[in-house]
Structure 1
Amino acid sequence: MDERDNIYREPSENASQQPYTPQHERPADNIGAGGMQNTEQNNANTGYAPPPPQNTAYSQPNGYSQPQNNYNNGYQNGYGQQPRNFYDQQPYGQPRRPVYDKFMYEPIGFEELERGQNNNLSSDGTDASQRRPKGQSGVLIMFVILIIIAALMAVCGIIYDIINSKNVVDKIGSPKPVILYKESKPEGAASEEKFKDENGKYTPEGAAALVKPSIVKIYTYKDYSNFTSKHPIGTGSGIVLNEDGYIATNAHVLEADGYHVVETVDGETYTAKVIGRDSKTDIAVVKVEADGLKPATLGNSDEAVVGEQVIAIGNPANLASTVTDGIVSAVNRKISSDSGGFEMDCIQTNADISPGNSGGALVNMYGQVIGITSSKYVSAEFEGLGFAITINEATPVIEELIKNGYVGGRFKIGIQLYDMSSEGNIKKIQEELGFDLPEDFKGVYIIKIEKDYDIANTDLKEGDFITAIDGTNVSTYYELYDAISSKYKAGDKVPATCAHVDKNGEITYYDIEFKLVEDTSGNY
């Protein structure tokens, strides 16, 4: 039945029906692939009513005019109107827009519009203009097929590898073992007889094995509380002198009022007591209460020969029982320490001597200690330049320290001084005075006078000079010491010539006499 018949029904039949809604003005969801939905139901849901004829956009005064084209397709004339043909008719090929009859609300032209719309729909209800070309569909199908084939091949490959993995491993086999060539020394190569010849001369390894048990490590603590907290302020080395527990070392390894612990080569530790220390020679002795210590054999350093092979044994950088080797580079070197300036007879060697080696042993190939190594005598500017205090010079000091606790015959004047041994010292003196000294003036400048000494009771004043001892001119420390020690000892009276220089350069000389005091402190 024609949808337009609804408007010709009796009032009773249309009481529940809504006015007719053209297909092109219905909501879009009412048209689908399956065709038209029920018109009556849709009209009832939407409540749509056709507009009155006089208010429609298609009405003209005569009621039969063509509708205006309200579609904005961009083809307008100069007055904003849609172009028409010569007879003012709808362009050819376009369906005529429907209009309502002025009197009967009769829709005119809906069949033509619906036929034009249905012509663009395919048999499956889709827009024919939106259908994919046949060539593109074929490419898409081919691409999907290739993906499926590739996936199948990958799955088959994985399954094949899993099934045949054991056979592949068997063909490859296990990797070849890495061959390392290792062998032991010939039988008897490590025996002690191999380290010593028929003349009693050892190889370096033989001398090291012989002397290492006699070298100990010394820990220095500021006090006992510092020891309990396990914070040493330094470490050094020592040489066991006898079974009674006396150990020789360097004075700078120890603290005068410190707490010291000795560790032997087997790891045993003992509290050490300072027997004596002499800063002038940098020699000291400590003692431990221990049994079974192995003493070192002291040699004759005067027999050392330049080029002779030697080893140094000590504990550098806290590394116990370290052995370095070298040769005797020179003998009878007069070397002064970096603190007191007192010269000691030393052996020069290229064996490495580092902090921690101090107090250790310089050993010849007969297993004899011929020197006490000291890092205080090591050159900081040149490598391979180390020194050891000759054992012949150290032995009398060691014996004095064990016997008395100090070196007897030492004296003190009771002064502190600057000498004129260098231009830098002379400049310091002139800065202290505030003016330049006269040319060719020589002497030792007195910085401080100790009140507890006899020299404080003389006319000598701080800022004056000692220029001579018993008629011997002095301008350096060594000249002063030699002039006194060559003639006088502790308790003797010493005559001296002094001088006062004013800012005008005038020099006033005067004589004094002072008594030497025995020095048992060990400080220098």
Structure 2
Amino acid sequence: MTLLKLVSNDNSSTEAVSTPPSTTDLSVTDAVLLDAYSQTVMQVAEKVSPSVVNIEVYQAQQGRSQRGQWRRQDEAKGNGSGFIITPDGYILTNSHVVSGASRIEVTLADGRKLSAELVGDDPDTDLAVIRIHAAQLAPVTMGDSASVRVGQVAIAIGNPYGFQATVTAGVVSALGRSFRSRSGRLIDDVLQTDAALNPGNSGGPLVNSRGEVIGVNTAVILPAQGICFATAVNTAKFVAARLIKDGKIQRGYIGVVGQNTPLHRRLVRFHDLLVESGVLVISTEPGSPAQQTGLHQGDVIIGFGNRPIANIDDLHRYLAEHPLGVRSSITILRGTEKVALPIVPEAVKGARG
């Protein structure tokens, strides 16, 4: 803070003299900022925590009774987190939390314990939807991960090691990360955060300072500290909607490893493009439709069929909706030239979409 002090001289003129901020001024300012940050985290926790649930999963096992007879019994497999996304009981969580469960139990923030059914599971994005039947449920507010910026506040709420409604805070460390899911497929457009996550946080929400969900907490890099990942909420909204509707996602496969990239304004104007970004081709898989049609490293995908492609989410949505084995065209920028190539998406092979 710079203060201006007016000093008179013998000629009645004045000059501006800067004085350094006092220690008291700085401490007051810091205290106000810290208090505002604390108030933000507290308000977000109060708003979102009622929507966060603890998920316990059980797996059927064969065991002998005291009389030596074989009988089926459910044994605890593990626990994770989830959050309510609709008033009628649909809950979003991670696929690896509920995969293989014979029985699922959900504990709400108010202490109610309910049985849940698996609605749909998508290992390729490590997302799943389960459902409970109960009244007075508090769904979250879903945000827009496309508006997320590096450095903004990120707050994680979950149940690490069974400690319900645990809140940790940090910032969004990076955007557009990729990591491989348990199915072997790369999950793209992942948010990185330093908000502390631990076993049991999986499936819980990552939220912004307004209490809007921006991601689904998914993974931690061990033994590193402060490197945690969340699936972007725009991906999660698309996957959840398809799982609720169909119970599964049937994806097309073209065999491209790519990342989001901005387009030069001159190219956008010259080709009169409907998008200002696209998907940069990092590599193509041997024998894949992308390789067969002639896609190369450095090409930028900007369209598929009649649909503009601005990012990886757009590409995934198109491949999830386009009929398998049906010829389409993929539009790319190769250098400064716009090229349309014929391509036939195949059934997903598990490694890439």
TM-score interval for Structure 1 and Structure 2 normalised by the shorter chain: 0.5 to 0.7
Q: 1:317 to 1:469 in 2, by over 3 A?
A: same
Q: 1:261 to 1:367 in 2, by over 3 A?
A: same
Q: In structure 2, give the amino acid aligned to 1:360.
A: G
What is the CA RMSD across the aligned residues, in angstroms? 3.9
Q: Which has the higher helix share?
A: 1
Provide the TM-score with structure 2 as the length reference. Answer: 0.61
Match runs of 1:68-467 below 5 Å: 203-223=40-60, 231-256=75-100, 258-337=102-181, 339-375=183-219, 378-408=220-250, 410-411=251-252, 444=286
* Pair 1:472-2:294 in alignment: yes
Q: Deviations over 1:363-419 (max 9, x none)?
A: 1121111110012xx2124211011111112111111111111124x1479xxxxxx
Provide the TM-score with structure 1 as the length reference. Answer: 0.42
Structure 1 gaps of 5+ residues are: 1-194, 414-441, 445-464, 476-481, 495-513
Structure 2 gaps of 5+ residues are: 1-33, 64-71, 255-283, 298-314, 329-343
DSSP-derived class of the 1:222 partner = strand
Q: 1:249 to 1:315 in 2, by over 3 A?
A: same
DSSP-derived class of the 1:223 partner = strand
Residue 332 of structure 2 is matched in structure 1 by none
- Counterparts of 1:225 and 1:263 in 2: how far apart (Å)? 26
* Pair 1:492-2:336 in alignment: no
DSSP-derived class of the 1:232 partner = strand
- Counterparts of 2:206 and 2:288 in 1: how far apart (Å)? 41
Contact 2:252 2:345 in 1 (8 A): no
Contact 1:306 1:327 in 2 (8 A): yes
* Shift in Å, 1:220: 1.0
Contact 1:196 1:206 in 2 (8 A): no
- Counterparts of 1:466 and 1:204 in 2: how far apart (Å)? 47
Contact 1:491 1:518 in 2 (8 A): no
Q: Deviations over 1:449-503 (max 9, x none)?
A: xxxxxxxxxxxxxxxx77985343799xxxxxx9x969x7414379xxxxxxxxx
Aligned identity (percent) is 36
Q: Deviations over 1:46-86 (max 9, x none)?
A: xxxxxxxxxxxxxxxxxxxxxxxxxxxxxxxxxxxxxxxxx
Residue 147 of structure 1 is matched in structure 2 by none
Contact 1:202 1:365 in 2 (8 A): no
Q: In structure 1, give the amino acid aligned to 2:192.
A: Q
Q: 1:224 to 1:365 in 2, by over 3 A?
A: farther
* Shift in Å, 1:251: 0.8
Contact 1:202 1:366 in 2 (8 A): no
Contact 1:493 1:516 in 2 (8 A): no
Q: In structure 2, give the amino acid aligned to 1:238.
A: G
* Shift in Å, 1:264: 0.7
- Counterparts of 1:202 and 1:297 in 2: how far apart (Å)? 19
DSSP-derived class of the 2:138 partner = coil
* Shift in Å, 1:339: 4.4
Q: Deviations over 1:138-196 (max 9, x none)?
A: xxxxxxxxxxxxxxxxxxxxxxxxxxxxxxxxxxxxxxxxxxxxxxxxxxxxxxxxx99
Contact 1:215 1:238 in 2 (8 A): yes
Structure scoring higher RCO (CA < 8 A, sep ≥ 6) equals 2
Contact 1:335 1:345 in 2 (8 A): no
- Counterparts of 2:75 and 2:247 in 1: how far apart (Å)? 28
Q: 1:412 to 1:387 in 2, by over 3 A?
A: closer
Q: Which has the larger radius of gyration?
A: 1
Contact 1:490 1:518 in 2 (8 A): no
Q: In structure 1, give the amino acid aligned to 2:146.
A: D
Contact 1:202 1:367 in 2 (8 A): no
Q: In structure 2, give the amino acid aligned to 1:253.
A: V
- Counterparts of 2:126 and 2:98 in 1: how far apart (Å)? 10
- Counterparts of 1:257 and 1:485 in 2: how far apart (Å)? 29
* Shift in Å, 1:224: 8.7
* Shift in Å, 1:299: 1.3
Contact 1:222 1:255 in 2 (8 A): no
Q: 1:235 to 1:243 in 2, by over 3 A?
A: same
Contact 2:49 2:165 in 1 (8 A): yes
Q: 1:370 to 1:412 in 2, by over 3 A?
A: closer
Q: In structure 1, give the amino acid aligned to 2:46.
A: A
DSSP-derived class of the 1:208 partner = helix
Residue 157 of structure 1 is matched in structure 2 by none
- Counterparts of 1:242 and 1:443 in 2: how far apart (Å)? 39
- Counterparts of 1:247 and 1:405 in 2: how far apart (Å)? 14
